[in-house]
């Protein structure tokens, strides 16, 4: 377990989540949370290769028990001093422009992200 503050980034994909994780990894160890961890594992390896510390965790942020499990693992690995927690998870990518989203599209997304 490290005593250094760390960052948690939930919703690590190829876009915003990865950019945020890379930025925090310059100063902090980072916990990368993703439902589909293929990309986050590669990102963790990239961060490690550049001298940072990163661990990828497979988790469904909509599942309370799964989140409790992952936070227990993160606390065991990194300790209790979290410098930042970024929630970038989304229920699914939107295949159409924002203004074309239906009420159902937005309701589903908000149920995951709020």
pLDDT digits (tens, 9 = 90+) for 56-77: 999 988 788 999 999 999 999 9
CATH number at 6-113: 3.40.50.720
User: pLDDT category, 2, cuts 50, 70, 90?
Assistant: low
Rounded to whole angstroms, how far apart are CA atoms 40 and 45?
9
Tokens of 60: 């469904």
Of 73, 20, 69, 67, nearest in space to 43 by CA: 20
Query: Strand, helix or coil at 72?
Result: helix
Distance in angstroms (rounded) separating the CA atoms of residues 12 and 39: 8
Tally of CB atoms within 10 A around 106: 12
- Average pLDDT (19-35) is 97
| Phi, psi torsion values for 92, nearest 5 degrees | -175, 155
Q: How far apart are CA 81 and CA 105, in angstroms?
A: 36
Q: Quick check: 89 pLDDT over 70?
A: yes
């Amino acid at each position: 377990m490290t005593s250094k503050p760390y960052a948690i980034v939930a919703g690590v994909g190829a876009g915003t989540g990865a950019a945020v994780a890379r930025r925090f990894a310059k100063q902090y160890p980072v916990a990368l949370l993703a439902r589909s961890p293929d990309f986050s594992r590669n990102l963790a390896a990239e961060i490690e290769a550049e001298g940072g510390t990163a661990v990828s965790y497979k988790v469904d942020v909509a599942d309370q028990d799964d989140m409790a499990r992952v936070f227990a693992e993160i606390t065991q690995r990194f300790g209790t001093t979290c410098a930042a927690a970024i929630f970038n998870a989304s229920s699914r990518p939107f295949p159409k422009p924002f203004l074309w989203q239906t009420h159902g599209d937005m309701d589903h997304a908000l149920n995951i992200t709020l």
